[in-house]
Structure 1
Amino acid sequence: MPTSETVNWRSATNMGFKRSPPPFLAVANKTNKQVFRGELHHPAEPAGRAVRHRAAQHLGVSTGGNYLFAFFARNSTPSDADKRRFVGNLVSLYQNHVKALYVLGARKFAVIDVPPIGCCPYPRSLHPLGACIDVLNELARGFNKGVRDAMRGLGSNFQALKYSVRSSHAVVQSIMKHPQRLGFKDTTNACCGSGRFNGKSWRTPNATLCGNRHEYLFWDLLHPTHAASKVAAAAIYNGSLHFAAPVNFRQLVEDQC
């Protein structure tokens, strides 16, 4: 389940925004590209300060499972060394992006980790027994640990940097472990789709559609329902350190330092 726009929107509304902050390129494309590129080398120039202010006010950062799916598509039986090398490179790339945003003026980072993507309807449809795909879940756990460690290191090296890593992984695991407590009845099938687990295709005119989507964890072959996103957003905004650390999103927003 890659990072969901619905989860981002729910989290953003909890923080007082009307919508999710736009991605990095959406801001960059509205800014003079020569000035934007020059900002990395001349942060003291007046034009650079304007870019930094824009970046700090309007940029949102999140992790996602798409890279992990792409790696799995190329190599479905990777060795331990393959997995370590891939995850290490991806975490390094992510860390460099955060540093670049810091240079542009961003000081607070609300990070969303990768859920147990091997348990989405699509991966399940690939398994002979319909079980979760362990390799994908291993990659997610390794990447999540790497991101947490990277953010901890950045927080130590850059005193003004504040962050919270939201564990969508922990939220989805909680829903799958105790679905009825949270109002869910189906945590394996997609509400909308076709084929095994409704996980063989995207939403098409011939797709099967459930009549009680609020009882499903998954909307389609990879993404959560609005109901699941609502639970996740509440958990990370006001929840315990099990769902967001070292502080939850509300504490991050209210931190005036």
Structure 2
Amino acid sequence: MGDDLVLCLLVVSMQVLVPVVVASRRPPAIYVFGDSTLDVGNNNYLPGKDVARANRSPYGVDFPGVPTGRFSNGYNTADYVARSMGFVSSPPPYLSLAKSSSLLVLTALTAGVSYASGDAGILDSTNPGKTISLSRQVHYFNATKSKMASTLGSRAVNAMLSRSIFLVGVGSNDLFVFAAAQQNRSAAERQSDDVAAFYASVVSSYSATIQELYKLGARRFAVINVGLVGCVPRVRALDAAGACAGGMNQLAAGFDAALESLLAGLAPRLPGMVYSLADSFGLTKDTFADPAASGYTNVAGACCGGGRMGAEADCLPGSTLCTDRSHYLFWDWVHPSQRAAMLTAKAFYDGPARFTSPISFKQLAHKI
């Protein structure tokens, strides 16, 4: 498709989109940053044998029947958050669009773009060379915005971005890497201030990310904190009794408290910034306390994998699947199932007030 035709389609699309958005109050676009819980295929385009990819069966078995790069049996959390706000699904991965400037601009203006990448962390030092780091994701957004501004002009793009949603969910991989490093050190080598230094580092980097996105035009932030990372099947399988790792969960709780404080401190300093902080930790804690209330029969093991609790091997072609995926909280040894992603997004959009603060995702999306 030639650039002239694409730009023509862009103009037409924007003309059609405007009244639709006004009528439905749907945000103009959604831009996604984070890790594998939000990745919709960026890692499929990364080189290297050590890159985590969900490009093989049975990933995607429930949507669309083939692997898409989502670390799920179907839709993931980004999809359901986007759907709740009026989009068809998560916007497509940046790396699938990057080779065509015109297609990238068209998509970015009418739906948004996903920059999320499996194994990504807040810190550049988390899984380097295997992922698109958070700072690199922001760099890609900056490049996208420049191309958008070249098409529509900076003023129009900034106005559109100010009403768009910036979905951010990241931090788990930083915690996994830090915890693994601590475990490999002797008790004598561990310092009491190691955790404090870690928190300071990740919070500083997270703050820089939010402020850079703000400088680039972001105003509405939908932020998801870190859940009970000590209760994912991969971690529980390491315990003889299959119990959660309390230390990992304490580490996550400390990070979440620091993130809450960070956002509360940034908002008054950044005019026009509005945010909704989603409590994945609280939601998963409630789910573990009463699985049946959410329709789960298994919240400990993986639906797809191998070995003990289905968590001693990755989900691969030929892996045995659980009989009813909708009854499992976890799809593979670390990622939620499609149904878990759906329930998560529902809770954050317009669920109980305790799962989002200071406003819900719904209030954020429709805030005038």
- Selected match of 2:317 from 187, 190, 205: 205
- Selected match of 1:149 from 256, 261, 278: 261
Higher helix fraction: Structure 1 or Structure 2?
Answer: 1
C-alpha offsets along residues 70-103 of structure 1, whole Å, 9 cap, x if unaligned? 1122122755421121122101110110000111
C-alpha offsets along residues 187-240 of structure 1, whole Å, 9 cap, x if unaligned? 101000011111112111342210101001111000111111111111110023
Residue 27 of structure 1 corresponds to: 141
Structure 1 stretches of 4+ with a deviation exceeding 3 A read 24-33, 46-60, 77-80
Is 1:15 the counterpart of 2:85? The answer is yes
Residue 37 of structure 2 corresponds to: 4
C-alpha offsets along residues 95-116 of structure 1, whole Å, 9 cap, x if unaligned? 1100001111100100001110
Is the CA contact 2:161–2:219 (under 8 Å) kept in the aligned structure 1?
no
Instruction: Answer 1 or 2: higher relative contact order, Cα 8 Å, separation at least 6.
Output: 1
In structure 2, runs of 5+ residues without a counterpart are 1-34, 39-75, 92-113, 116-136
Worse overlay, 66-75 or 109-118 = 66-75
Residue 367 of structure 2 corresponds to: 255
Give TM-score scaled by structure 2 length: 0.61
After TM superposition, give the deviation of residue 134 of structure 1 in Å. 1.8
Is the CA contact 1:55–1:101 (under 8 Å) kept in the aligned structure 2?
no
Is 1:60 the counterpart of 2:130? The answer is no
- Selected match of 1:69 from 166, 169, 176: 176
Opposite residue 334 of structure 2, the aligned amino acid is L
Opposite residue 172 of structure 2, the aligned amino acid is G
Cα separation, 1, equivalents of 2:159 and 2:356:
26
Is 1:192 the counterpart of 2:304? The answer is yes
Is the CA contact 2:302–2:311 (under 8 Å) kept in the aligned structure 1?
yes
Is the CA contact 1:111–1:164 (under 8 Å) kept in the aligned structure 2?
yes
- The structure having more radius of gyration, on CA atoms, is 2
Please state whether the residue corresponding to 2:300 is helix, strand or coil: strand
Is the CA contact 2:165–2:365 (under 8 Å) kept in the aligned structure 1?
no
What value does the CA root-mean-square deviation take over the aligned residues?
A: 2.4
Is the CA contact 2:303–2:328 (under 8 Å) kept in the aligned structure 1?
yes
Please state whether the residue corresponding to 1:221 is helix, strand or coil: coil
Opposite residue 115 of structure 1, the aligned amino acid is G
After TM superposition, give the deviation of residue 48 of structure 1 in Å. 5.7
Opposite residue 131 of structure 1, the aligned amino acid is A
Percent identity of paired positions between Structure 1 and Structure 2: 33
Worse overlay, 78-87 or 188-197 = 78-87
Give TM-score scaled by structure 1 length: 0.86
